[in-house]
Structure 1
């Protein structure tokens, strides 16, 4: 990296102002100014565009920008990427010589921006990349491997609730002899869920993914059972709670309406939104049961409480919902322990010490 190139902070601020104003032309102009100021495409993608995209999420969570602004800013950043990488290269195109890889999102994962960044960085480094985008169904991903015989599948996930689907994709790709490199926030900051689900490798970011591929990933030769490394699944709590999702949401909402007068007065739209929020809580609980890690659940609750606080919404209905949910999980010790930990985090009832520890989450 050259010491004479334009400062990153100024480029980020220029791009931020442009995307916040909805000005696509100024946004593209800011990164082109970076190219003129000594930056290369990869540096702009990862140190400027990605940083601004992260700020978009932070600002939305803090209620400093609207959902519409968040969507518009993300769409402009997508077009900024295109403007950066789809332009004549000095001295001709980068030769394809390293190999062929598939970059895709887990089935059900809509957040494709991180995967797009990885795909473009690998193309810049000479890989032939099949970028499949958001929420690729696992059967379609496997069918693509039969046609292309990729050197690796790079599987991206941002939302932890898609980890069971990620496990399915990892196992299916390995079964046809293709190694899987996992990445994204869903797999944990240290990649522990990638390891737990049997991925061949994990990378924290696009540069890390490129480094792993350059070292080479061996083809899988022996595929274990889907529950290898997840022995806690034999208690079937994950399966039974997952199958009860709809009932849990309905009963919790009905009891909330009995306990809290404000909830009884909700409009139909507010009621639907509350049911949606309860569904997210159950989804994260189910995922925590799958990977046997309490932080999946408590981390989501902490994030949710922060979002509510930023919008001036009290957290006590959330605590009440957890208390009601706990009453429905009396026969599920791991699930009950997770709900009590979540309530304790939010300042509700402390987790009881009489529950058996077993193999429950960390």
Structure 2
């Protein structure tokens, strides 16, 4: 079966690059006809090719538009994988219990959650898949109406962790256990534990295996507040920095223009991109303050450095923004420490700085 799946990955990759839905569908049909299970096609073919898509984007070999087109092909071809005759399913639909699968509010990367939902359906769960960016109040209202056995929350972006924490505690407060997954929670799930989730899984197969054993329901009488899980929030740094996000971004952009005269000749697109980059830095700083996790912030800067350098721009272009942020936040010791550590990560990279103003 390994040869069948490897060949399917190669052929699906070609179909994705050519944005050919029909060819992608034929790849899936052929793999299923050769004896691969729907779960194997979802996890060993589609998910792995999507991972290759992400790596190609990060390396600058694929544009954002091409990455979106590839993801859309995968979204459409999933239907061909999971709409199997009931005779091919190992478990009768609904026999394994009910699960609501959703992305936290602000999380647009829905494909991992969609793959989980389909794996769970193939394992016999009745699944409500709510898709991307589900506001917590709407999610809770839905849960009151449907009363699932478990909620599976997905988040790729660590900047959504404060929102995820709110959703986790709100769901547990109505007596439903929460399973979380996605890159936002860390490779080992340490952020899931920090935020009080009932369980964490590194991938869809592990999540399905965990749910097969059932999850105990939390006691609504033991509802927690954020400060119970994260006592460092008592210093109010996260609250103050996050509330001033917009002004911080404006101040940093103004400071950059004073320090880097070349910015004055930026195109409108370059100004927008720079503003987006500064906003991302502030957002990840806020997430690191919320979780008291320096690695979240420094890891983001290191990853961003890889992205920039793959596009011919030195990661050191971020350093002036960090310096300006330190000045703006000089009265916030945890923020200053995070920014200092972030600057150290940038200085530790081997690539020399590029001429200011070369970023596009």
TM range (shorter): over 0.9
Match of 2:117 in 1: 119
Distance 1:262 1:197 in 2: 43
- Contact 2:304–2:315 (Cα < 8 Å) also in 1: no
SS in 2 for 1:220: coil
Q: Does 1:46 align with 2:43?
A: yes
Distance 2:226 2:307 in 1: 35
Match of 2:24 in 1: 27
How much does 1:38 deviate?
A: 1.8
Match of 1:129 in 2: 127
Match of 1:356 in 2: none
After TM superposition, the score normalised by the length of structure 2 is: 0.93
SS in 2 for 1:313: coil
Match of 1:357 in 2: none
**1:77-105, Cα deviation, whole Å (9 max, x unpaired):** 11111111124343689332111110000
Distance 2:78 2:129 in 1: 14
Say which of 56, 59, 66 aligns to 2:63: 66
**1:177-221, Cα deviation, whole Å (9 max, x unpaired):** 111001111011111111111111111111111122111111111
Say which of 54, 57, 61 aligns to 1:57: 54
Instruction: Give unpaired runs (5+ residues) of structure 2.
Output: 350-360
- Contact 2:316–2:347 (Cα < 8 Å) also in 1: no
Say which of 10, 13, 16 aligns to 1:16: 13
How much does 1:5 deviate?
A: 5.8
Change (3 A) 1:55 1:5: closer
Match of 1:101 in 2: 99
After TM superposition, the score normalised by the length of structure 1 is: 0.93
SS in 2 for 1:154: strand
How much does 1:7 deviate?
A: 3.4
Distance 1:19 1:201 in 2: 34
- Contact 2:322–2:343 (Cα < 8 Å) also in 1: yes
- Contact 1:102–1:131 (Cα < 8 Å) also in 2: yes
RMSD across aligned C-alpha pairs, in angstroms? 1.5
Match of 1:205 in 2: 203
SS in 2 for 1:286: helix
Distance 1:218 1:283 in 2: 34
Match of 2:181 in 1: 183
Change (3 A) 1:279 1:91: closer
Identify which range, 266-275 or 124-133, moves more after superposition. 266-275
Identify which range, 150-159 or 321-330, moves more after superposition. 321-330
- Contact 1:5–1:37 (Cα < 8 Å) also in 2: no
SS in 2 for 1:182: strand
Instruction: Give unpaired runs (5+ residues) of structure 1.
Output: 350-362
